[in-house]
Amino acid sequence: MRFGNRANYWIVEDGHFDVSRGAEQTATIELEGEEKQTLSFDPKRSAFVVVDMQNYFCSPLLGRPEGALKLVPAIVSAVASCRALGIMVVWVNWGHRPGIDNVPPSLLYAWQRSGRPGIGQPLPDDLGLTLVKGSWSAALIDELMEVYEETDPWVDKYRISGFPGTTLDAVLRANGIQTLFHAGVNTDQCVMDTIHDAAFLGYDNVLLQDCTATTSPPYVLEGSLYNMRSKAFTSTSVSLKEAALLNI
């Protein structure tokens, strides 16, 4: 069955989703779920969006749990698969201006109500300002620098989602991107909200579940995954690697 119009459409048949829009060269991954399903997509019109893998959220110097750092092997593998397939890699991270004059009171309050330093305020132990562009806390973790390339788009974000007030949508549309693979932290916050906004803007979405983590309680994660089912497919870095090997 075909969903969409003559240029922008999916074809869904017997547990297989084709979102390639008629591309000559496609890749296929397996989807996670109760039923065995597959997804074909156009790698040249796809992007891997890595969210918030920054020192602030991942570093043990700030007492962060090890869950985020445990994602590194899967994300490194996914980046390698994306490069092999020709999928664009996009890094989306908090990176505020020093004056934080584009941040509303609601966000500033929410950030500080737990007693932690607010956005733009000094971190303990001379670790610099909180999530200000160019600061230590806003930097990509060292463990992922080996797979970062200077030609990769880097998007500074100012909200939980990667879209409001940023260049993300413009970068994706300028490169003809239609399908997004998502990774990073936290699954139920910045990753989920980015997926929701992407879906509202018309992008296809795939959550690479082994490339995401959260510090929230299990029931929160379970609810978030449930809410994302209508906005995103779910797969893994392993399936993406298998697709890359088949397309070499």
Instruction: Indicate which residues carry an active-site annotation.
Output: 52, 157, 190
Q: How far apart are CA 152 and CA 136, in angstroms?
A: 20
Amino acid at 220: V
Closest to 184 measured CA to CA, from 47, 50, 81, 89: 50
Q: How far apart are CA 44 and CA 88, in angstroms?
A: 8
Q: How far apart are CA 131 and CA 121, in angstroms?
A: 9
Q: Two tokens at 205?
A: 């979405």
Q: How far apart are CA 74 and CA 46, in angstroms?
A: 18
